[in-house]
Structure 1
Amino acid sequence: MTRHAIRSLALAGGAVTLAALIAVPAAAQATRRVTISPYVEASQILSADLDGGDVLTYTSLAAGVDAAIATPRVSGQLSYRYERRFAWDDDIGDSDIHSGLARVNAKVSNALTLEAGGIATRTRSDIRGAAPGLLVGNVDNVAQLYSVYGGPSLATTAGPVAFNANYRLGYTKVETPTFADPRAGGRRLDYYDDSIGHTATASASVAPGSVAPFGMTLSGAYDRETASQLKQRYEGYFGRGDVLQPVSPYVALTAGVGYETIETSQKDPLVDATGAPVVDRRGRFVTDAASPRRIAYRTDGLYYDAGVIWRPNRRTSVEGHVGKRYGSLSVTGAATYQASQSVGMSVVVYDGIQTFGRQLRTGLANLPTSFVSGQQQGLDPQFNGCVFGTSGAQPGACLNDVFQSISTSSYRARGINGVIVATRGRSTWGAGAGYVNRKLFAPQNAPGIAVDGLDDESYFGQLFYTRSLTRVSGVNADLFVNYYDSGVEDITGDTSVWSYGGSGTYYHNFGRLGTTASAGLYSFKVGDLDSVWSAQALIGARYQF
């Protein structure tokens, strides 16, 4: 399969899945609600460096589609946009931008469910460099990426035993990043290419009181991902047993023990006479075909944890687990609260061995099937941070933890994410915040590898607000702040990067023709260097078919 064909598959995956589900016979859909809204758009953009730099202007032509389906058996949404930028002079190059998100769940029968998702967006590449927030004009250190996943889930019973099984197939592709920020300096890091992942899980459980006073669950899983860059591989086998003991109508104690084998490995990069990695015409490390497979990370043995589950009502669920895993303390948990049909909150605490592709697909699976897409998005970049749901039952989730930078190495990720969304009358607002720490793995003393044993981390916060002023007009506002610590003083001398800014948009529709005016302000700061400030403005028109 050619590179163009692979990219086309990634771009079309979500749209094809949604189109197939929309085509399900009406007899199986009962009260069908389907909307499909294609559009074309033209915009004029200005970006000004407020530190005495250039003022750039360019024209953007875009085409896209917003679609949604909500039936008793199928729920899903697709928002996709292709943009072509045309420069007015040589200060900025012509470019193609893809942004989109698709999430679909389809209940084929009482036992079988199909799930799929896909994303196209741009995000930060090297954790040491710039952290663009408003992706306008010439942006440093940003790569276009695509990811899709999908598969079936089976849930059935046999007497008191409930059986669950699922399979997921996923693909992730990352383009070569834009020019690097020279302030990053130091040794060059590798560029991610693509990966294919397979995950299969199965479990059997009995509820408390059915065969014993306590509930029991046996589960197992197999997970494998292969990446083209340096022939990297992740492979894991998992088995686990859990017990659940209610101690009141609202509280239960749980404990579990498992056995797992996880191994990540890769080959060495080819090096030249000076010991520097050889790169191909796209800037990626060239794999040394004669290199043996080298272990980056391996664990093999038992792990365990215990926890508490609290469910005082149908709208509230809180659980937490503490144990030992990966040779140290491990804490995980989750909390959800649905205050009403239009107000909800979700918090997740996680700990796991990850790769970029695996963590991104997990993040996609946690996104809602109905989300705020921002039909008049203005300058705000779509789908590279928090994604907010349209109901209290599915408040949303954040992808900032995986998008803090694109790592070609495997790593242990520990963090916390939280989102809240609320709709009141004509206003909707949402907030997301979180923290993540990654411990990076690579073969020891591998030539050209500069990340083994390093820790990086990030904090993030995001606010959004939208209000319909009239039936045909409204305003949107977005604020964000990010802090990154690369943990690589030996490479750059600086470890911290701040990124913060915001944008505001006013829109007014005249029938099928909509107009948009947007303004933004953005800044980033690397280490002890001065902050870099820029301002942006956009005027655009969209025709909805």
Structure 2
Amino acid sequence: MTRLIIAAMVALVCATSPATAQRTRVSPYIEASQVLVSDLSNGGDVLTYSTVGAGIDAQVTTRRVEVQVSYQYEHRFSYDKDLADDSMHSGLVQARAKITPELTMEGGAIATRGRSDIRGDALGTAQGNVRNSSQVYSAYVGPSLATHVGKVFANAAYRFGYTKVETPNAGTGVPAGSLPLDRYNDSKVHVATASVGVKSGNGLPVGVTASGSFTREDAGQLDQRFEGKFARGDVVLPVGRGVALAAGVGYEKIEVSQRDALLSGGLPVIDGNGRFVTDPSSPRRIAYNFDGTFWDAGVIWRPSRRTFLEARVGRRYGSMSYTGSASYQIGPGSGVQIGVYDSVETFGQQLNGSLTRLPTSFVNTTDPFGNQFSGCIFGTTGAAAGGCLNQVFASTVTSAYRSRGVTGVAVLNRGSTRIGVGGGYARRTFLTPQSVGGVSIDGTSDESIYAQLFASGDVGRNGSISTSVFGSYYNSDLAGAQGILGYGANTAYTHMFGPLGATASLGLFGFDREGDSNATAQAQALVGLRYGF
């Protein structure tokens, strides 16, 4: 399986690497490491084990193609029964190919670990016996068209996405007596969008746009189905140099439905993977049904090519809604991006949609403790600073939800020095039938706050050092849930001896649950060798 994945990625890079490529780099490698994990909170147990892995780092940039691949498979070998053997896939692929001047094909994929239950452990590492962690995969592909017919512009796009979550390893670490929640399985999503319009000054004093979209997602768990469609019209009125007023109104219909879980003695029947078993005789129940109009209005500010800001306020989903975005390109390799969002979606949709917005050129942090792609991902250009996935991986929930929050990243790339800062706040309000498997979570909410700092640079001719620091806070309205503060920091030094690289790394990770005096903390150390071909 691993060799098939690596071969597919190599084939993708080679297929998009014409002789006229401006930049091509393909670097497969193998590596072996020795890991030590010391429990600082529960008796001071020490675990040691070995890991063996293989991966590929590749990047292709031409006038028509942009591709970056960073993928690693790792398997660890335990020395005693206190540590289970485990495997992990970690990687990110982003690709964009311009087929014609008007037609573009895009695709991407991610493999990483995500938290299973918002109420569970919050240890930000993949080393040791980590609970409340699931292997997650997501991928998308689709074309987009941008053309003109006279003064009228026309855009259209289609995306197919797939998301899969495996069974959590070593349990979830939720408080004793907590009611079981359903575990996410997989989903397939189709998204189609289209818009037509004219810009201001092309025969009209205002810019006018008409747009629409259709989304259909089918999830494997409880036969969940999401269907959403909307149509809207927007006008943009320039009022000064680089400043315009904007307003839009539209109609939207969203329906989320699912079947009941099979019950036994009033409790849901759970299969061997910890998921609810669907009741085959259950009718389809409506989890959310919105059918009505929405509106928003705001301001657009674009004083230069490097600076953009848009802020809107309106009414959507039956209440006030606030959205916006801002970006500032400090220089060729440095910039800032901020987004404020409000939408109704699912875990699969949010992860897949967030993946499409990540840059095609990103910083490969080579985190030796395995949490590289579950947080903030930093771009290498000021025009595409990156994005954060913390709000998605707060927990791999099955239910649909209304997602609101703000996220932002800032990057500085100068020479061999790379610095990235990211963070945000997210709130999810769940939308389910009144009872799912005997557990009512409809209307409950969870929150997450997160921040991350990354820095790396060269040390001498053959050395490099990197540091990562992060923190998070999770809370939920669910009965028995407690706020959880998670944190972590690690630093790594790598020295190259030709194709052979040696790495030494130290890390500290932990979490503290409100109302529990027994905080959890781990110190970790790693030494490893990597050989590149």
CA distance in 1, matches of 2:39, 2:250: 55
Deviation at 1:299, TM superposition (A): 0.4
Q: Is the 8 A contact 2:434 2:441 kept in 1?
A: no
Of residues 269, 284, 292, the one that matches 1:301 is 292
Pairing partner for 2:39 from 49, 62, 74 = 49
CA pair 244-295 structure 1, distance change in 2 beyond 3 A = same
Task: Show CA shifts across 1:449-501 (max 9, x none).
Answer: 3321101000000001101012210111000000001122x2x2x42000012
Structure-1-length-normalised TM-score: 0.95
Listed as ranges, the matches of 1:402-441 within 5 Å are 402-441=392-431
Counterpart of 1:99 (choices 55, 67, 90) is: 90
Tell me the equivalent position of 1:347: 338
Residue 65 of structure 2: aligned partner? 74
1:63 and 1:349, CA in 2 relative to 1: closer, same or farther beyond 3 A?
A: same
In 2: Cα distance, 1:226 partner to 1:460 partner: 30
Partner of 1:279: 270
2:281 partner letter: A
Question: What do residues 100-151 of structure 1 show as CA deviations (whole Å, max 9, x unaligned)?
Answer: 0000111110110000010000111100010111221100100001000010
Deviation of the 1:382 alpha carbon = 1.4
How do residues 331-346 of structure 1 correspond to structure 2 at under 5 angstroms?
331-346=322-337
> How many angstroms apart in 2 are the aligned matches of 1:267 and 1:280?
16
Q: Does 1:536 align with 2:528?
A: no
**Cα offsets for 1:198-231 (capped at 9, x unmatched):** 0000000101011211010001110000001000
Match of 2:347 in 1: 356
Which letter does structure 2 place at the counterpart of 1:541?
Answer: L
Q: Hey, what does 1:512 align to over in structure 2?
A: 499
The correspondence for 1:502, drawn from 477, 489, 492, is 489
Q: 1:184/1:330 Cα in 2 relative to 1: closer, same or farther (>3 Å)?
A: farther
Q: Which residue of 2 aligns with 1:164?
A: 155
**SS of 1:360's equivalent?**
helix
Distance 2:461 2:159 in 1: 42
Equivalent residues of 1:128, 1:184 under 8 A apart: no
Where does the alignment leave 5 or more consecutive residues of structure 1 unmatched? none
Deviates more, 1:380-389 or 1:318-327: 380-389
Describe the shift of the 1:190–1:245 C-alpha distance in structure 2 as closer, same or farther (beyond 3 A).
Answer: same
Q: Is the 8 A contact 1:147 1:172 kept in 2?
A: yes
What count of residue pairs does the alignment treat as equivalent? 530
Following the alignment from structure 2 to structure 1, what is the Cα–Cα distance between the partners of residues 10 and 439?
Answer: 41
Q: 1:256-301, CA deviations, whole angstroms, 9 ceiling, x for partnerless residues?
A: 00100001110000011x1111111211110001100001111000
Structure 1 residue identity aligned to 2:304: N
1:207 equivalent in alignment to 2:195: no
**Conservation of the 8 A alpha-carbon contact between 2:435 and 2:441:** no
Counterpart mapping for 1:45-444 below 5 A: 45-51=35-41, 52-178=43-169, 179-183=171-175, 185-272=177-264, 274-375=265-366, 377-379=367-369, 381-444=371-434
CA distance in 1: counterparts of 2:336 and 2:357, whole angstroms: 13
Q: Equivalent residue of 1:357, what SS?
A: helix
Please give the alpha-carbon distance, in whole angstroms, between the structure 1 residues aligned to 2:464 and 2:9.
Answer: 32
Match of 2:471 in 1: 481
CA separation in 2, counterparts of 1:508 and 1:129?
38
Structure 2 residue ranges without an equivalent (≥5)? none
Give the Å deviation of 1:152: 0.1
In the TM superposition, residue 362 of structure 1 has moved relative to its aligned partner by 1.0
For the aligned residue pairs, the C-alpha RMSD in angstroms reads 1.6
**Residue of structure 2 in register with 1:527 after alignment:** 514
Is the 8 Å Cα contact of residues 331 and 349 (structure 1) preserved in structure 2? yes
CA distance in 2, matches of 1:283, 1:465: 39
Secondary structure of the 1:402 match is coil
Which of 423, 437, 440 in structure 2 is aligned with 1:447? 437
Note closer, same or farther for the CA distance 1:65–1:288 as it changes in structure 2 (3 Å cut). same
Q: 1:37 to 1:285 in 2, by over 3 A?
A: same
Verify the 8 A CA contact 1:26 1:32 in the aligned structure 2. no
Amino acid at match of 1:456: D
More deviation in 340-349 or 521-530?
Answer: 521-530
| Residue 197 to residue 184, structure 1, CA distance change in 2 (3 Å) | farther
Q: Which whole-Å CA distance do the structure 2 matches of 1:182 and 1:160 have between them?
A: 58
What residue in structure 1 maps to residue 456 of structure 2? 466
CA distance in 1, matches of 2:231, 2:285: 26
**TM-score normalised by L of structure 2:** 0.97
Q: Shift of residue 76 of structure 1?
A: 1.6
Deviations 1:176-211 (A, max 9, x none): 012121535410111110000000000001010112
What letter matches 2:218 in structure 1? T
Identity %: 51
